[in-house]
Amino acid sequence: MFSGIISALGVVKNITYDDIYSFDIEIKKINLEEFEESNNLIKIGCSIACSGVCLTLTKKKWNILTFDVSKETMNKTNLSNWKIGNLVNLERALRVGDEIGGHFVTGHVDTVLELQKIIEEDGSRILYIKLNDEISPYIASKGSITIEGISLTVNEVNNDYFNVNIIPFTWDNTNLSKIKVHDFVNVEIDLLSRYLVNYQKKKEN
């Protein structure tokens, strides 16, 4: 379980494939002191959210983290588009007693959606993201959403898009600073929204 508060930024250093995909990610920038303090405690087998995807750490050498990724995960996320040099948002799993600064995030990506446009407004950026029929019932104005592992609040929902506001700190300290229109982002819907919609569907049936 995660909170959607990005602890550090990494860079994809190497990608290999031998029956399974393997990514080497170098920790480049620490956003929160707790990640630096816990870096020595990060053990092989632990879970780390990589741009919203919960992955298992299979190797660690200094500040290089290695993750093996199944074909299912490659198919369901934007990891299939990753290239050497891409920025990756990193968050270690929550520990009992940790502050929940964002909202509960599982690291199980529901879908990938296309970024339609970026508008700068009063120093912040507004991202417009194309909706699909699969998750549109779960998106509500002022509800929570996870994009690239970042806990965000939905501003506005339309028939075919929703938008979120990105403050300068989040823009500067996540991989969103490198995002471009028509890029695809990992999206995880809010757990509470999922349960409420599914409950309502069962009642109707």
CA distance 90 to 4: 9
Neighbours of 169 (CB within 10 A): 10
Q: What does pTM read for this prediction?
A: 0.90
pLDDT beneath 70: ranges in the chain:
31-41, 95-102, 193-202, 205
Give the pLDDT confidence score for residue 58 in this predicted structure.
Answer: 96
Using an 8 Å Cβ cutoff, are 184 and 113 in contact?
Answer: yes
- Residues 114-125 as b/e (b if ≥16 CB within 10 A, e otherwise) read ebeebeeeeeeb
The two three-digit tokens of residue 182, written as one number: 């028509």
Domains of the chain: 8-92 (2.40.30.20), 111-204 (2.40.30.20)
**Cβ–Cβ < 8 Å for 44, 60:** yes
Residue 96 confidence (pLDDT): 59
Residue 99: its pLDDT value, please? 61
